[in-house]
Structure 1
Amino acid sequence: MPRTAYFGPQGTFTEQAARGFDERAELVPLPTIPEAVAALRAGDVDFACVPIENSVEGAVSATMDTLAVAEPVVAVGEYVLPIRFSLLVRPGAVAADIKTVASHPHALAQVRTWLGRHLPDARQLAATSTAAAAVGVLDGEFDAAITAPVAATHYPLTVLAGDLADEPDAVTRFLLLTRPGKIPAPTGADRTSVIVIVAHRPGELAAMLTELALRGINLSRIESRPLRARFGEYRFYLDFDGHVSEARVGDALAALHRRSQEVRFLGSYPKADGAASVAAPGTLDSDYDASAAWIATLRGEEPG
């Protein structure tokens, strides 16, 4: 049975995502994202499930920073989870009793309007996770917690309100990480993720993106994070359609490797939405094979 570390404690959205990847897995809750990934790197678990981005609050910086340093890990799957929250209190409590409400900052941001309307006088406090906020309610540290619905199954608290979301279509994307090795086979609906550090000179970012555009590769996400030891310089996180086994993707990665200070491969894996990764005319594997054969004839080389 595989063991999967996840950003805990029990009762987080990440737990729900980890179960979505594999209901049979033994789940190991850890208090922070770096600790979950460290357990994977150390070989204590087979996988780690972490959030990577939210449709309302954007990228999860702790995950991005953790993926960028230390031993490489790669994503082998993604899971997109609709986000709805519950308001948990100690048994017997009512809305008038709530002076403080706690949650992860991303969660508080996604119910800010609801809290302003229903609990305008309650002080909002940050917790390390939605489930940690529930634990804080149990311990008397907070009066209420904004949590994932699954938290109500783990903690003896009362659901005072449910199905909370300022944005009804909000989702969070999660990655299932493992140590480098065999990657998932291409499905035709794949995503590739990399981290790139380019030279700090004019035009390098545009040149990086041009390597993808020239090969007809659809860039679906780009984020930047600072290089902590070099103020004013950044690493770029790229998600784009396609699989490393495709000629166009492999060729683009090779070009990025040639011209960049560093390229870290974060995996090629099936997209959660199943949308096909369509190659533009002239960028199919057969097109690359034909052009390579043509070059071989120019060089007087034997076919094959």
Structure 2
Amino acid sequence: MAVPNLPGPGDRFSRPHYPRRMPGMPATPSPTRFAYLGPEGTFTEAALSRAITAPEGRRDPHPSVASALAAVRSGDADAAVVPLENSVEGSVPATMDGLVDGAPLVITREVFLEVAFVLAVRPGTTLADITSVASHPHALAQTAMRLAALLPGVDPLPATSTAAAAAAVAAGEVDAAVCAGIAATRYGLQSLADDVADHAGAVTRFVLVSRPAPLPARTGNDKTSLVAVVADRTGALLELLEEFAVRDISLTRIESRPTRQRLGVYSFSLDCEGHVADPRVGAALAALHRICDDVRFLGSYPRADGRQNRPVRPDSSDEAFAEAEGWLARVRAGDA
């Protein structure tokens, strides 16, 4: 899949082409049409089922992350579930780039799913019969050592998803697939080996994304995601980090991505604790908008990894911000 270009310094992210909700209009309805990285039987489908418990609604598998995100942008789907990062292999580039390129999308929910792999084959196939094995590149990376031990001399082949690899086995295109147990069952395969991951307990983080709409309400244990294109000057990244540090905002993830304009110019994708409605988080984002070449807001949403946000210093609390704003207003009015 071709990786889309990110803007370079001086350029701007694509702006929304969605109609804005005018005052008095009803709030955006809950999504009922969902896109996800398919085909059926992927871990992404399992994450969607965990995120959306109601049985009603349409769920459409897509052949790639880009296709699932495009369905949301075009209005063919209300929301999409896509993988964002894995505890072993890190971020999913197709999702990272897909959220930055094109009209804005925002994360409204995250889902953490423990992933376990099986080596699936057509019934009657033995290990000695296998001359080809396929899976998603992240799954192959997480099972490389076990596959080398089970299938010495067999070079793994990349597939668009673990379930697509299982479907290819069922169609006779390859001999074996590294996939979820549910995919093996769905495509009529049998497992020759269970729990083939090199590192037990690997977890993948999935996100539910939609077109811009009123944000989920603050819960007190939230995350905010964004991408910032830093200026091409010495100390630009330090300036970005300082805007969070001085407001006692903890970063839970930060990752550089090339802008593909020229070597040495990067954007930074990050998650921080807190909600954009929190005064300190809002102030940090406003500061980034001022000092960075561009900022794309990717959403504020409830934290779902089972951890609690760090306690905030008293001087960075909502009350402290409100008191400081009140003092400044009195100074400007001549009442201080």
TM-score over 0.5 (shorter chain): yes
Opposite residue 40 of structure 2, the aligned amino acid is Q
Length, aligned pairs only: 303
Opposite residue 263 of structure 1, the aligned amino acid is V
Q: Which residue of 2 aligns with 1:299?
A: 332
Q: Structure 2: which 5+ residue stretches go unaligned?
A: 1-30
Q: Distance in 1 between matches of 2:180 and 2:67?
A: 21
Contact 2:120–2:191 under 8 Å retained in 1: yes
Which residue of 306, 320, 334 maps to 1:287? Answer: 320
Q: Which residue of 1 aligns with 2:253?
A: 221
Q: Which residue of 2 aligns with 1:207?
A: 239
Contact 1:5–1:48 under 8 Å retained in 2: yes
Q: CA deviation at 1:281?
A: 2.1
Q: Distance in 2 between matches of 1:301 and 1:82?
A: 59
Q: Which residue of 1 aligns with 2:202?
A: 170
Partner SS, residue 92 of structure 1 = coil
Deviations 1:182-227 (A, max 9, x none): 1111111110000000110000000000000000000110111111
Q: Which residue of 2 aligns with 1:152?
A: 184
Opposite residue 106 of structure 2, the aligned amino acid is V
Which residue of 36, 47, 67 maps to 1:17? Answer: 47
Q: Which residue of 2 aligns with 1:183?
A: 215
Contact 2:224–2:271 under 8 Å retained in 1: yes
TM-score by length of 2: 0.87
Which residue of 150, 154, 161 maps to 1:118? Answer: 150
RMSD of Structure 2 on Structure 1 (CA): 1.5
Contact 1:189–1:274 under 8 Å retained in 2: no
Deviations 1:136-168 (A, max 9, x none): 112222110000222023211112222222111
Contact 1:37–1:48 under 8 Å retained in 2: yes
Q: Which residue of 2 aligns with 1:95?
A: 127
Q: Distance in 2 between matches of 1:275 and 1:190?
A: 10
Q: CA deviation at 1:301?
A: 5.6
Alignment partner of 1:37 is 2:57 = no
TM-score by length of 1: 0.96
More strand as a share of residues: 1
Q: Distance in 2 between matches of 1:74 and 1:227?
A: 20
Opposite residue 187 of structure 2, the aligned amino acid is Y
Task: Please identify, of 148-157 and 212-221, the stretch whose mean Cα deviation from structure 2 is larger.
Answer: 148-157
Q: Distance in 1 between matches of 2:52 and 2:335?
A: 49
Alignment partner of 1:251 is 2:283 = yes
Q: Distance in 1 between matches of 2:174 and 2:278?
A: 52
Q: Which residue of 1 aligns with 2:36?
A: 6
**Cα distance, 1:66–1:301 mapped onto 2, change above 3 Å:** farther
Deviations 1:273-292 (A, max 9, x none): 24332322211111001011
Which residue of 250, 263, 276 maps to 2:308? Answer: 276
Q: Which 4+ runs in 1 deviate beyond 4 A? A: none
Partner SS, residue 40 of structure 2 = coil
Deviations 1:31-57 (A, max 9, x none): 000100000011111110010101111
Task: Please identify, of 23-32 and 84-93, the stretch whose mean Cα deviation from structure 2 is larger.
Answer: 23-32
Opposite residue 140 of structure 2, the aligned amino acid is L
Contact 1:12–1:151 under 8 Å retained in 2: yes
Q: Distance in 1 between matches of 2:263 and 2:171?
A: 41
